[in-house]
Amino acid sequence: MDRNTHARQAQLRAQAIYLERPESAQTVHRGSAMVRDGLTCTYEQDGHRVVLDMPHAIGGSDDGPPPGFYARAGICGCLAIGIKMTAARENLHLDTVTVRIEQDWDNRGVLGMEGANPVASDTRICIDIASPASEDAISDMVARALNSDPWFLAYRDAQPVHTAVSVGADVV
């Protein structure tokens, strides 16, 4: 079985299960990031581990990409995979999906400097798709994919975020 057929069949099977038992679709992802000495950070989730750091210019050791790298990788990867998943479910053949991102930043914001916003002032996402399907069919499918893509929607739409802070000598 080719990988596209496998993706389609697995998703259709998951949809059938979730239709029958919607509660089985509920999940919680848990991860943690820890910084000890300097700015080098280790994030762990589900047995996977990545290292994040900041550039030397602002006090990091450059031992890994900065957090924004992973955020941009997350949205680009999620969009590319989500578009491919949607196409597979709809039996629409795509040769390749490439997602590019550009963001404009004022780096003073992350340093807490007065008058500078720490969030991107503009985000541009470009999606390139190679496919024998019609442009209309692809555009319609991409619109459906975007409307169900969690990281695209997290960038686009405000959502609730809750924080809790614990302070103590024995907190790890």
Q: What does the alpha-carbon distance between residue 169 and residue 105 come to, in Å, rounded to a whole number?
A: 36
Q: What is the pLDDT averaged over residues 138-155?
A: 95
Q: What does the alpha-carbon distance between residue 108 and residue 118 come to, in Å, rounded to a whole number?
A: 7
Reply yes or no on whether the pLDDT at 125 is more than 90: yes
Reply yes or no on whether the pLDDT at 40 is more than 80: yes
CA atoms within 13 A on the CB side of 24: 9
What local confidence, expressed as pLDDT, does residue 92 receive? 95
Q: What does the alpha-carbon distance between residue 146 and residue 116 come to, in Å, rounded to a whole number?
A: 30
pLDDT band at 23 (very low <50, low <70, confident <90, very high): very high
Reply yes or no on whether the pLDDT at 171 is more than 80: no
Reply yes or no on whether the pLDDT at 30 is more than 70: yes
Q: Give yes or no for a contact between 49 and 29, defined as CB atoms under 8 angstroms apart.
A: no
pLDDT band at 109 (very low <50, low <70, confident <90, very high): very high
What residue spans define the domains of the chain? 31-65, 66-156
Reply yes or no on whether the pLDDT at 28 is more than 80: yes
10-24, 34-48, 104-118, 156-170: least confidently modelled range: 156-170
Report CA-CA distances (Å) from 171 to 6, 46, 167.
45, 22, 7
Q: Is the model more confident about 102 or about 171?
A: 102
Report CA-CA distances (Å) from 142 to 1, 14, 31, 79, 170.
25, 21, 30, 9, 49
Reply yes or no on whether the pLDDT at 172 is more than 70: no
Q: What angle do CA 12, 13, 15 make, to 5 degrees?
A: 65
**CATH T-level topology, domain 66-156:** GMP Synthetase; Chain A, domain 3 (3.30.300)
- Averaged confidence pLDDT in the chain: 94
Reply yes or no on whether the pLDDT at 33 is more than 80: yes
What local confidence, expressed as pLDDT, does residue 99 receive? 98
Q: What is the pLDDT averaged over residues 22-50?
A: 95
